[in-house]
Amino acid sequence: MTTSIAIPTARQRNRRTRTTNVSSQPALLVSELPLNSVELTHRAEHLACPACKTWCPLTLNKGSREWKLVPHHTAAAGTPGARRCSNSNRLVVIDISLVRWQEQRVEASADVAARRPTKVLKKVTAPLPKAIHQLDPAAPTADTAHAAYVEHRSRCAACTDLTKRCPDGLRLGAAYLELLRQEPERRAAQARAEKEQRIAERDQVEQQLQRRTKGWADTEQAVTEANQVRQDSLVGARPPIQGAAVPVGARPIAAPRSSEAVLALSPVRKKRSVA
């Protein structure tokens, strides 16, 4: 008899098996297992094995028609050195209805979604302003170059004489002469730019005036008709209501009355005098 020296490998898990073997371990209750380790969809019943944590199909035992885990290995199919899991052929009791199991999964999904933290948005970093030494200096002109040259000569001991100048003085003097030579061209370019700007502003004002004139021409007829209707409605209108004429010689409202006048007008005094 020959003995095979090949290393056993894990086999593919069959969905339906015909074996009648049953594990001696107690049956697993589906209601006691986590919801995320059970799948009870019809014709796709699966269960995460509690021992090896791998998903295995559920099959019906041929003799008792009870659910059980199919025989499986602890590693994926094709893995060398495979070992049979201790939960192979272990009975599984589905003590919960399919409808109730689906309801529990929906409730669990809602709870997980509520516990999931919201996405953290990073604060936008404000751009930092440039330092003074990083700023672009203003374009030099002949006046600024001359001022820099004069200031250098006032501070430099080697540049006190016109015949003797240091390298910095020579550089500043050359820059001043170059800018002085370019000054007419710069002034002409600045004048052209100002002229073009004035022309653009004048064109803009003319276009705005044309738009206003055109808008008034479009609404002039409607305004004229509205004024005519308003004038026609005022023709024959009644004059404003005037108050009643005040009788001449009437007593002023604020004039005080004497005691004799008050007693003379009293109804009790009048009744006694008549009696």
Q: Are 38 and 47 in contact (CB under 8 A)?
A: yes
Per-residue pLDDT, 201: 92
The domain in which residue 195 lies consists of: 141-201
CA separation, residue 201 to residues 194, 197, 198 (Å): 11, 6, 5
Same domain, 73 and 109: yes
Residue 258 pLDDT greater than 70, yes or no: no
Residue 193 pLDDT greater than 50, yes or no: yes
Residue 274 lies inside a defined structural domain of this protein: no
Cα 228 to Cα 212: distance, rounded to the nearest angstrom: 23
Domain boundary among 171, 201, 231: 201
Same domain, 110 and 147: no
Residue 247 lies inside a defined structural domain of this protein: no
Residue 229 lies inside a defined structural domain of this protein: no
Same domain, 155 and 88: no
**Count: domains in the chain:** 2
Residue 207 lies inside a defined structural domain of this protein: no
Least confident of 85-89, 216-220, 261-265: 261-265
Same domain, 197 and 159: yes
Same domain, 102 and 35: yes
Residue 128 lies inside a defined structural domain of this protein: no
Q: Which residue has the higher pLDDT, 30 or 239?
A: 30
Which contacts qualify for 80-86: CB closer than 8 Å, 24 or more apart? 80/7, 80/8, 80/9, 81/7, 81/8, 81/9, 82/8, 82/9, 82/10, 82/11, 85/49, 85/51, 85/52, 85/54, 86/23, 86/25, 86/51
Indicate the DSSP class of residue 9. Answer: B
Q: Which residue has the higher pLDDT, 258 or 147?
A: 147
Per-residue pLDDT, 112: 64
The proportion of the chain whose per-residue pLDDT surpasses 70, expressed as a percent, equals 73
* 60-97 per-position pLDDT tens digit: 887 778 888 888 888 777 778 778 888 888 899 998 88
Per-residue pLDDT, 198: 92
Residue 34 pLDDT greater than 50, yes or no: yes
Instruction: Pull the structure tokens for residue 236.
Output: 């024959």
The reply to whether the predicted model has a pTM over 0.75 is no
Residue 136 pLDDT greater than 80, yes or no: no
Same domain, 57 and 104: yes
Cα 67 to Cα 60: distance, rounded to the nearest angstrom: 5
Same domain, 104 and 155: no
Same domain, 62 and 108: yes
Domain boundary among 201, 234, 249: 201
* 201-213 per-position pLDDT tens digit: 999 999 988 888 8
Helix (H, G, I), strand (E, B) or coil at 225: helix
* 219-251 per-position pLDDT tens digit: 888 888 888 877 766 555 555 555 555 555 555
Same domain, 33 and 108: yes
Residue 127 lies inside a defined structural domain of this protein: no
Per-residue pLDDT, 196: 92
Residue 48 lies inside a defined structural domain of this protein: yes
Residue 190 lies inside a defined structural domain of this protein: yes
Residue 200 pLDDT greater than 80, yes or no: yes
Q: How far is CA 219 from the centre of its chain?
A: 44
